Chain A
Amino acid sequence: MKVVRVIPCLDVENGRVVKGINFVGLRDAGDPVELAAVYDAQGADELVFLDITASSDNRQTTVDMATAVAEQVFIPFTIGGGIRTVEDARRLLRAGADKVSVNSAAVSRPELVAEIAAEFGNQCCVVAVDGRRSDRPGIESGFEVYVKGGREATGIDVVQWVRRVVALGAGEILLTSMDRDGTREGFDLAMTAAVTAAVDVPVIASGGVGSLGHFAPAVIEGGADAVLAASIFHFGEHTVAEAKAALTAAGVTVRPAG
């Protein structure tokens, strides 16, 4: 039985959640522990924290955040952003993160994926892939890997890249459409389908959710194993429970909320 996971994504900077969290009744909208607990209560299956801390001097704040979250929140969570070495991964995993996600550092040095998988197991090694539609030569699938938040093209084909990182030891792919991210037009279903057809590890679809109706097609047409969204949850427009109800109504199996 495939049970699709619903995953809210939180941006953190210097150990604080940033960017438009707007729930009624929060004591502290920047407290990762309080927000994680809210999403846990709504039925979130996992959480992803994306570390956007600019200075590597402040990375310890992210480790401290992982410690605090792990002490009080008992669902799995992943931390991504700024992980460049096995040591970076080790600090976060020892602090209590269940998985780490690598993105541009893997593009610069793919061996990082193999190193993390060998040290801690494939199951905690997530590779985040930011893709855009591309008609450039050499991009056979029509989707190209981007880095630097979708600004910089790499010339790497998304489908070839996910095959390569899975061969290196990635246990999960977090696939974000940079064309759709922030548009609220729905997931890029064609890119999701191309990736889920290419690899046999779980794939998280991300980028573009604007309404509850956007979740199920990522699973039914895109073949995704999990769906990730940020703003639709953060602004209190919709709860995770509502997302799960929409998935269930479309015939997708989820862990019931609450």
Chain B
Amino acid sequence: MLDYAIGNLRSAQKALQRAGADAHLTADADEIAAADGVVLPGVGNFGACMDALDGTGLTDQAKVAATSGRPFLGICVGMQLLYEWSDESPGRPGLGLLPGTIRLLPDGVKRPQMQWNRLAVSSHPLMRGLEGQWMYFVHSYAAQVDENVIATVDYGGPVAAAAARGNVWATQFHPEKSADAGRHLLENWVRTVADSIALLRQDHS
């Protein structure tokens, strides 16, 4: 878990441990390079998070980890940082691992969306068993619903709740705060990490 000194990271760490992962908070390049899977959390403002990533030297680490093929999971603003741009911080590039711009939630709904909402999911290993499950959201901006989106919720129309492209997966909601449904999602991801370790071992044997 990339530790770039933002808000509450402990909850996500504890939830990953509960889901079976040996989860560490770290900003150490060697530890990140040796990890079987990498989590990019995030909370607050897009530009402030990118600045904090830069400030801790983790921007390149995040890009290297995401392009290495290892399982990579962005959470909340950590999902938004994966995209190219955000209207929250115009002119401040994101990591550019997913195409598109993060935009403000639609007019006519409260911003932030601060509530539980029910997922409509597409077929993807991260979303296995989660159709109709409830997750906790806190956000004012979201990715656009495009071909990478693997789950949506209804909030003034369909809103991107999760996305995936190759090994880079992400959730706009907070699985670490979404009770049993969130645990189920993290277990799906941890299982993917375990499977990829097994595949790597096969390749080497």
Contacts and interface: CB of A to CB of B under 8 A. Distances in A.
A235 interface: no
A28 interface: no
A121 B7 contact: yes
Nearest to B14: A71
Contact of B116 (A45, A74, A98): A45
Interface residues of B, number: 35
A5 interface: yes
A225 B176 contact: no
B149 to A, nearest CB: 18
Interface stretch (B32-40, B92-100, B107-115, B189-197): B107-115
A95 B114 contact: no
Do most interface residues of chain A lie in helix, strand or loop, or is the interface mixed? Answer: loop
B153 interface: yes
Q: Kindly state the interface size class of chain A when it binds its partner.
A: 20 to 34
B13 to A, nearest CB: 9
Given A70-B11, A120-B44, A202 B114 contact: yes
Interface string A114-133: 00000011111000000000
Interface in A1-53: 1-5, 40, 45
Nearest to B175: A74
A252 interface: no
Interface stretch (B65-73, B122-130, B132-140, B164-172): B132-140
Given A120-B44, A255-B116, A40 B10 contact: no
B178 A74 contact: yes
Interface of B: 7-8, 10-11, 14-15, 18, 43-45, 48, 109-112, 114-118, 134, 136, 138-140, 153-155, 174, 176-179, 182-183
